[in-house]
Amino acid sequence: MNDTLAYALEQDEQDKLKAFRGQFHFPTTADGKPAIYFCGNSLGLQPKGAQACVQRVLDAWKTYAVGGYMKGEAPWMTYAQRFKEPLGKLVGGRPDEIGVMNSLTVNLHLLLASFYRPTKTRYKILLEAGAFPSDQYVAQTQVLHHGFKPEDALIEVAPRANEQCIREEDIVAKIAQAGDTLALVLIGGVSYYTGQYFDLENITTKAHEAGALCGFDLAHAVGNVPMQLHDWNIDFAVWCCYKYLNGGPGAAGAIYVHERFSLDKSTPRLAGWSGSDLKTRFDMPHDFTPEPGADGWALSIAPGLILGGLEASLDLFAQAGLDRLRAKSIRLTGYLEYLLGLLPKDALEVITPRSENARGAQLSVFFPTGGQSLQAYLAEAGIITDYREPGVIRLTPTPLYNTFEDCYHVYQTLHKRLKSG
């Protein structure tokens, strides 16, 4: 590696996935040039194929009206079914373990209605300190709903003093310490703040050894890192589809429920008509019988107008292949890390784990002073990132559409700013 534009351009020329960049719309700078977009961890870019997919739904509505539920190229009643297999490939789940529905937080509450069923003695939930607020709020309100106090029922695992990431052994130790009081482990697969990718298989194994269930919020993991949820025996997971999956703002969320639960009709759940058995759904039975698989948790029909972006993006994932994308991501993120390491050591700290197996595409960079103004400076230079207090800029070279040249220009812009003070 070296810090020259020539090197970056050479790497891009050799990139076998470079054509996928042309399949996305980029925001533009004041002078009309494509911005450098390093914010795919927050909202993915729009695939160029998304408009046609959304237009197809509008055309069906226009042509068939209510008949669009059953007619056309993508009938709305079953539209979400076409996402089960491609999403299953991305997370290592079987198609009947995948459901597309609602939004992430709604889905998390729905699944906790099934998987957080505390008793007087086994009622505690373990989660990481500093989890995304929605996860914190879900856990807090769930324990309150069951009559427990959050300060007693919630166990948080935090980084050690003067460290930014949580040590895996500390998670394992907390699970063992909780023992038979532990009802559920609920962890983010990849930390939204630090970019740390947790060992999902080991955490699940340890939770099961303690007699607890284990679920994950995969919002920052899906489409970013490879997973094998079924083989790892993970009980359940939720995610949104608008970050690395490029489903668009307000995109439908998705769930994974291991088949030992999803194919068991006695698994408790909150019910809706769209989650009832399709074979008898239109008979309008009085009593609820769930559709086999994860679809048995659906409350309503997935909204067709917001599925178009996801359909277009998943087509691109299928063409690119997650293994190839992950290989490029490791190289791209590693190159950005190398460049950041050339900047003054006292000006910044990469708080994301250095091991490629413990992170995805995101590098979280802590600036002791001036982080927010530096993020604004990057924006003025046509580089879109995001900022998190205190002092962290999240830089995410997404392999579907970012380049080595992008990384080089981010480095050069930071170097210029830090050099000038």
Q: Are residues 299 and 153 in the same domain?
A: yes
Q: In this structure, which amino acid lies at residue 26? A: F
The model's confidence at residue 402, banded by pLDDT at 50, 70 and 90, is very high
Q: Are residues 116 and 213 in the same domain?
A: yes
- Those residues whose C-beta lies under 8 Å from the C-beta of residue 401, and which sit 6 or more positions away, are 20, 21, 23, 24, 26, 37, 40, 45
Q: Are residues 370 and 299 in the same domain?
A: no
Q: Write down the pLDDT at residue 404.
A: 98
Give the residue from 315, 342, 370 where a domain finishes: 315
* Rounded Cα–Cα distance for residues 96 and 131 (Å): 29
Six-digit token string for 143 = 């324990």
Q: CATH number, domain at 297?
A: 3.40.640.10
Q: Where are the beta strands (DSSP E) in 27-153?
A: 36-37, 46-47, 98-100, 124-128
| Per-residue pLDDT tens digits for 30-46 | 889 999 999 999 999 99
Residue 45 lies in a domain: no
Q: What pTM does this model have? A: 0.96
Q: Are residues 301 and 325 in the same domain?
A: no
| Per-residue pLDDT tens digits for 141-192 | 999 999 999 999 999 999 999 999 999 999 999 999 999 999 999 999 999 9
Q: Are residues 309 and 356 in the same domain?
A: no
Number of domains in the chain: 2
Residue 241 lies in a domain: yes
Residue 40 lies in a domain: no
Q: Write down the pLDDT at residue 421.
A: 62
Q: Are residues 358 and 284 in the same domain?
A: no
337 touches 365 (CB < 8 A): no
Give the residue from 296, 315, 334 where a domain finishes: 315
96 touches 293 (CB < 8 A): yes
Q: Are residues 189 and 266 in the same domain?
A: yes
| Per-residue pLDDT tens digits for 159-171 | 999 999 999 999 9
Q: Are residues 166 and 146 in the same domain?
A: yes
Give the residue from 315, 332, 348 where a domain finishes: 315
Tell me the C-alpha to C-alpha distance, in Å, between residue 53 and each of 58, 218, 373. 9, 25, 39
* Of 186, 182, 204, the residue nearest 123 (C-alpha): 182
Which residue range is the domain that position 155 belongs to?
54-315
Q: Are residues 69 and 157 in the same domain?
A: yes
* Rounded Cα–Cα distance for residues 195 and 392 (Å): 11
Residue 173 lies in a domain: yes
Mean pLDDT score, 293-318: 95
Residue 388 lies in a domain: yes
Q: Are residues 284 and 394 in the same domain?
A: no
Of the CA atoms within 13 Å of residue 43, those in its CB half-sphere come to 11
Q: Are residues 342 and 402 in the same domain?
A: yes
Residue corresponding to tokens 């579907």: 400
| Per-residue pLDDT tens digits for 321-343 | 999 999 999 999 999 999 999 99
Q: How far is CA 140 from the centre of its chain?
A: 21
Q: CATH number, domain at 397?
A: 3.90.1150.10
Residue 44 lies in a domain: no
Q: Write down the pLDDT at residue 54.
A: 96
Q: Are residues 399 and 281 in the same domain?
A: no
